[in-house]
Structure 1
């Protein structure tokens, strides 16, 4: 699937984010091995730790629909009505969450980059020496 398609879906769902505290809206579009796109947005909470990032929102949606194998994710973020001049990389918790389901050698993380179009990384580049299911013997 073309990275631009995923970025477009992430842009669309970003507008549905609930971010009354930070005003920072994030959208994610996750490509399942089945070819389906699962979207998610960030949802903040007055108890800050109870919020969920867009990336995990997309993964939870996909898993709840039966998908557990993934190929790529596109992430778009920025302040409420503006597009940031910087890419919006996933936080550390989201990187570890991705590791649970994704092959770090092949899973692509696509970040919209307003200056350059897009940046593409493999999960292993953003989460080196990662801890995963193999460390638990599964």
Structure 2
């Protein structure tokens, strides 16, 4: 892992400390790197109804967009959790990553024990449903 990836993973670990997890006690942190160098942090936020719970990756992405970052303007995201192996984004987060990030953007996945893996957004969700999937067929 290079120094930039390690630094982003450390930012994600700091974000993990802000997690609101009174039910699962399973903290996850994310750090999203904008092309300008700005880092947007996110953590998972649970809710008693469970459905409204938001993952760390989506919190970081939605926060960035809410603060004016444009979709597609991100360089990398790191995600970390207290897991045996490097944590991976859930299916919903993978879909959101496909929508808001470049397909070749790095996704740095780690755990608090120092293990990590790096993939691209496209590798995380092959055959993704994208905005072009909504294009209507030409009428004959």
Normalised by the length of structure 1, the TM-score is 0.89
Aligned equivalent of 1:12:
14
- Pairing of 1:69-108 with structure 2 (within 5 A): 69-78=73-82, 84-104=83-103, 106-108=104-106
Higher gyration radius (CA): 2
Could you say what the CA RMSD is over the residues aligned between the two structures, in angstroms?
1.5
Measured after TM superposition, the shift of residue 132 of structure 1 is 1.1
Q: 1:81 matched to which residue of 2?
A: none
Query: How far apart, CA to CA, are the structure 2 residues paired with 1:14 and 1:114?
Result: 10
**Structure 1 equivalent of residue 65 of structure 2:** 63
Q: Which runs of 4+ in 1 moved over 6 A?
A: none
Give the whole-Å Cα distance in 2 for the aligned partners of 1:117 and 1:88. 9
The number of residue pairs the alignment matches comes to 131
Q: Which runs of 5+ in 1 are unaligned?
A: 79-83
Distance 2:32 2:54 in 1: 16
Cα offset, 1:88, TM superposition: 1.0
1:21 aligns with 2:23: yes
1:31 aligns with 33
Unaligned runs of 5+ in 2: 136-140
Contact 1:113–1:119 (8 Å) recurs in 2: no
> C-alpha distance in 2, partners of 1:11/1:71?
18
Question: Normalising by the residue count of structure 2, what TM-score does the alignment of the two structures yield?
Answer: 0.87
